[in-house]
Structure formats: structure tokens, C-alpha cells
């Protein structure tokens, strides 16, 4: 039987991460959840542990990409799910992305939430990621910023480390497509904690946009260097 581990990077997600872990453990086929506590200052680590996760505690925040690197290195599962910590109970819907990978229909399956939920980053960062992926890999994705994924370990081993910060999803998708792996989007309804229209929310989106732009720029340079 194929072993499946869910890797969940978490920073200050107390109040939601425990429900996320419980929902993932409720998905048929998921045998293990690894939560990487990215320097949280709240009770995220203890909450995740109480819900049944294995917890890796980072002494300081290193960003989403580095947290995922740590989580993937902590398991030898053949299939890995990458899941944001703030989905709470809605994480159970991610069974939809696990199926195609387990059935051999895809190497990487990305959960695509419905448009009724609104575009991430008010559409600007998402549009940048979509444009960059289409330009560099000739593939147009509907929800390129979705961090909810199921992937075969072989894919992770071949593309190396994740892009830093919030560029992780864009960089990962591009790397997988350009390596020739089968990448699909799967309609899937889940909910995040709202970012909000306030100073902290806009700062988050600015950081996200900068990280996505950096991931695209690095991969543009790599393409030009190829013979």
C-alpha cells in the first residue's frame, strides 16, 4: 500500500492547525501528518501535536519554502500532500487531489478552489504567477497560487529544494512542468483564514508578490543558461 504523508508548514496558526491535522488524518490513505512549526510564538506546535501530528519545531521563522523542505525530509512516504495550516476542517476536501496521484493519473495534483471564493491576492499576484507559468512553461493554470497539493516523491527528488518564501508554489509548479511531469488541477472547495483588507493584509500580499516575482526571475535566468 502506498504510504501518504501530509506536510503542513505552520506559523502562528493556533486555533486552526489542530482542526487541519484532524481533517487530514481523516482522509483515507493518509497515514501521517508532519507539522513544521516555523518559529511560531503561539501554541501552534502544542495544538498540532495534540491533534496527532508529528511536529518539527524551527527556532526561528525561515519561511514556507524552508519549512516544506524540513517536512519533506522528515518522511520517506511515496506520496506527499502539501497543505496550508489554516484550512481547519475544510482540509478534508483535499482527498480530491490525492486520488489522481494514487491512481497514477498525475504526478502532481493541485487543488483549484472555485472562483466564487474570489481570487487570491485580489487577483494581482495570482495573475503574475499565471502569466509567468504560461510564459515559461506554455501551460495556463486557473489557480497557480494554491498551496494544496499531492505529489509523488520522485517529483520532489528531481526538482530539489523549494523556492524561498511565498514563491514556493509558483516555483514548484514551473519546475515540475519543465521537467516533464504530469501536472493537473483538480476542482476542490476549501477555505483559508481571511487575509483581510488592512495594513497587515496588504503587506502580506506585497511579500507574496515579491517572492513570486523572484521565483519567476530565477527560473527565467535558468532557462537562458540552458544550451
What does the pLDDT read at residue 193? 80
What does the pLDDT read at residue 195? 56
| Overall number of domains in the chain | 1
By the 10 Å C-beta count (0-12 exposed, 13-18 middle, 19+ buried), 89 is classed as middle
Domain that residue 71 falls in: 4-225
What does the pLDDT read at residue 222? 73
What CATH number is associated with residue 213?
3.90.550.10
152-197: pLDDT as tens digits? 999 999 988 899 888 999 999 999 999 999 999 999 999 988 655 5
Ranges of the chain whose pLDDT falls below 70: 116-122, 194-202, 204, 223-227
What does the pLDDT read at residue 121? 45
Q: 168 phi and psi, to 5 degrees?
A: -60, -45
Smallest Cα–Cα separation from 97: which of 89, 85, 88, 108? 108
Q: Could you tell me whether strands 4-10 and 54-58 are parallel, antiparallel, or unpaired per DSSP bridges?
A: unpaired
Pair 65, 170: CB distance under 8 Å: no
Q: What is the pTM of this model?
A: 0.90
Amino acid at each position: 500500500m502506498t504510504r501518504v504523508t501530509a506536510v503542513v508548514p505552520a506559523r502562528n496558526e493556533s486555533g486552526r492547525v489542530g482542526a487541519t491535522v484532524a481533517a487530514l488524518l481523516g482522509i483515507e490513505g493518509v497515514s501521517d501528518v508532519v507539522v513544521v512549526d516555523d518559529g511560531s510564538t503561539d501554541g501552534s506546535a502544542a495544538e498540532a501535536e495534540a491533534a496527532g501530528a508529528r511536529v518539527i519545531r524551527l527556532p526561528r521563522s525561515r519561511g514556507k519554502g524552508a519549512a516544506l523542505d524540513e517536512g519533506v525530509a522528515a518522511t520517506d512516504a511515496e506520496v506527499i500532500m502539501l497543505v496550508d495550516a489554516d484550512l481547519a476542517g475544510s482540509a478534508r476536501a483535499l482527498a480530491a487531489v490525492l486520488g489522481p496521484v494514487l491512481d497514477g493519473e498525475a504526478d502532481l495534483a493541485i487543488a483549484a478552489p472555485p472562483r466564487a471564493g474570489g481570487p487570491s491576492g485580489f487577483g494581482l499576484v495570482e495573475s503574475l504567477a499565471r502569466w509567468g507559468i504560461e510564459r515559461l512553461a506554455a501551460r495556463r493554470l486557473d489557480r497557480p497560487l494554491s498551496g494544496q497539493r499531492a505529489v509523488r516523491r520522485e517529483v520532489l527528488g528531481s526538482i530539489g529544494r523549494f523556492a524561498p518564501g511565498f514563491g514556493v508554489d509558483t516555483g514548484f509548479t514551473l519546475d515540475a512542468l519543465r521537467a516533464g511531469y504530469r501536472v493537473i488541477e483538480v476542482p476542490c472547495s476549501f477555505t483559508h483564514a481571511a487575509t483581510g483588507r488592512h495594513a497587515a493584509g496588504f503587506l502580506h500580499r506585497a511579500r507574496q508578490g515579491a517572492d513570486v516575482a523572484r521565483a519567476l526571475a530565477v527560473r527565467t535566468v535558468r532557462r537562458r543558461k540552458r544550451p
